[in-house]
Amino acid sequence: MRADPPALNRRAILAAPIALAACDRFAAAQPTPGALARPLKSLAPFPIGATGMTWQLDQSDWVEQMLRHCSQLTPEWEQKMERTLRPGFTYDFSASDRVVSFARDNGLRVHGHTLIWYAQGADVFKDEVPRARFAAEYDRYISTFVGRYREQIAGWDVINEPVAEDGDGLRDCHWSRALGMEGYMIRAFEQARAADPDAVLFLNEYNLENLPRKGATFLRLIERLLKLGAPVGGIGTQSHLNIDIPAGQITAFMRDAASLGLPIHVSELDFPMQRDGGGLPDLRSTAERRARQVARVGELAEAFMALPERQRYAFTTWGLRDIDSWLVREDGKNRRDESPLLLDAAGRPNPAWQAVADAFRG
């Protein structure tokens, strides 16, 4: 496994140092049974966010809990290319408009997600499209989309998931084949900056805490893009946490990420209790898995709180309540007995909620 780059290991200690404590004290955190969770946004000196979709805007219970707990909203699907881009390089921003309007009408800050993702857009941006046309349409899509919400969206995930799955280099995709491995990223950041100079522009990635090799590759990529002049303004760590990663590993990544001096967004937090893959069944009790879950989420919240104030962009969960999670929903992984978020179906606090609240209160 490749070691962390020396440039990251030699950086000065932060003004608010992040300890490498295991944070397992959070395993004992317990919420008050039966009571609604206290609004998390009231405990945090930075935006608390969750994702939302258009169909949820019509659910009064979701709206009530969203406004109770959150100060920021990320569209979960409505700004992805599969929804916004149509054949012939035409656009449909109607779903995105509705989510942004809901947020504006209810005093929520909006985080845009996502402009360029390796997993989408190839059905229109095909390899056989002439390179000049490809580049012109690429620029037009980003400038049109970001410009549509100029001064309405606090930040954008400009490039989503550019690092190879195992962290060994960068992903090959239709964007890199047409515009170059670093070229497509630089171009996207430049177009987004021109369209909205005040938005914070993020590189967003997953498994950064789970896989140290991937985290190191990701941070080296940001350093490289900055040296090439790309206006990267923030670090997005999705934080789909593996609850079995070693204690201290989350804190170590956050320390190295913070050393770049950019705002950091915990952008898609969830923490499934069930393991992926076809391995042996998990024979641990629910209590044992809850303890691991609470310890890792508590560690993440403490590491985020230890950042300098100017680097705490937002703390966002991927879904609001357990029933809203892509891991639980029928159109997602359909794990009906999963509990990967801070709130249960009724808006009561799950055990990890207390760990987060304790960390935010110091």
Give Rg (Cα) of the chain.
20
Give the burial class of 241: count Cβ atoms within 10 A of its Cβ; 0-12 exposed, 13-18 middle, 19 or more buried.
buried
**2 has a pLDDT exceeding 50:** no
Per-residue confidence band for 10, with pLDDT thresholds at 50, 70 and 90? very low
Q: Is 344 inside a domain boundary?
A: yes
What are the phi and psi torsion angles at 321 (to 5°)?
A: -115, 165
Q: Is 281 inside a domain boundary?
A: no
Residue 60, Cβ neighbours under 10 Å: how many?
A: 7
Q: Which is catalytic among the residues 78, 161, 190, 205?
A: 161
| pLDDT at res. 33 | 59
Tell me the C-alpha distance between 7 and 13, whole Å: 13
Tell me the C-alpha distance between 357 and 345, whole Å: 19
**230 has a pLDDT exceeding 90:** yes
The dihedral through the CA atoms of 5, 11, 17, 21 has a sign that is positive
Q: The tokens 């959070």 sit on which residue?
A: 26
**Known active-site residue 161:** yes
Q: Looking at residues 78-103, what average pLDDT do you find?
A: 98
Tell me the C-alpha distance between 48 and 73, whole Å: 9
Q: Is 232 inside a domain boundary?
A: yes
Q: Is 278 inside a domain boundary?
A: no
Query: pLDDT tens for residues 146-194?
Result: 999 999 999 999 999 999 999 999 999 999 999 999 999 999 999 999 9
Tell me the C-alpha distance between 88 and 91, whole Å: 9
The count of structural domains within the chain is: 1
| CB-based contacts of 219, cutoff 8 Å, min separation 6 | 5, 8, 235, 256, 257, 260
Among 285, 280, 204, which residue's Cα sits nearest to residue 240?
204
Q: Which is catalytic among the residues 76, 78, 209, 268?
A: 268
Tell me the C-alpha distance between 274 and 242, whole Å: 9
Tell me the C-alpha distance between 190 and 196, whole Å: 10
Residues 301, 304, 307, CA angle at the centre, nearest 5°?
150
Alpha-helix runs per DSSP H in the chain: 6-9, 60-69, 81-84, 94-105, 131-148, 174-179, 183-195, 212-227, 249-258, 286-305, 351-361
Residue 260 structural domain:
6-273+287-361
In percent, how much of the chain has pLDDT > 90?
85
Tell me the C-alpha distance between 153 and 112, whole Å: 6
Tell me the C-alpha distance between 66 and 57, whole Å: 10
Token digits for 203? 């590189």
Q: Is 328 inside a domain boundary?
A: yes
**Would you say 201 and 189 are in contact if contact means Cβ atoms under 8 Å apart?**
yes
| Residue 40: CATH number of its domain | 3.20.20.80
C-alpha dihedral (77, 118, 199, 113), degrees to nearest 10: 10
Tell me the Ramachandran region of residue 295: left when phi exceeds 0, alpha when psi lies from -120 to 50, beta otherwise: alpha
Q: Is 282 inside a domain boundary?
A: no
Q: Looking at residues 87-111, what average pLDDT do you find?
A: 98
Beta-bridge partner residues of 113: 157
Q: Looking at residues 218-240, what average pLDDT do you find?
A: 98
Residues 200, 205, 206, CA angle at the centre, nearest 5°?
140
Query: pLDDT tens for residues 11-39?
Result: 333 333 333 333 444 444 455 557 888 99
Q: Is 280 inside a domain boundary?
A: no
**Known active-site residue 128:** no
Q: Is 127 inside a domain boundary?
A: yes
